[in-house]
Structure 1
Amino acid sequence: MNTPTDLSSYTRVLKLASTPSREEFWQVAKIAGAGIALVGLIGFLIFVFMSFVPGGP
Structure 2
Amino acid sequence: MDVKYDLSSYVRVLKMASTPSWNEFSQVSKVAGAGVFLVGLLGFIIFAIMTFIPGGA
**Normalised by the size of structure 1, how large is the TM-score?**
0.89
In structure 2, list runs of 5 or more residues that go unmatched: none
Q: Percent identity?
A: 65
Number of matched pairs: 57
Structure 1 position 52 matched with structure 2 position 45: no
**Normalised by the size of structure 2, how large is the TM-score?**
0.89
CA RMSD, 1 decimal:
1.0
Paired residue type of 2:50: M
Measured against aligned partners, the alpha-carbon deviations of 1:14-57 in whole angstroms (never above 9, x if no partner) come to 11111111000010000000000100110111111111101234
Q: After TM superposition, what 4+ stretches of structure 1 lie above 4 angstroms from structure 2? A: none
Q: C-alpha distance in 2, partners of 1:44/1:5?
A: 47
Structure 1 position 43 matched with structure 2 position 43: yes
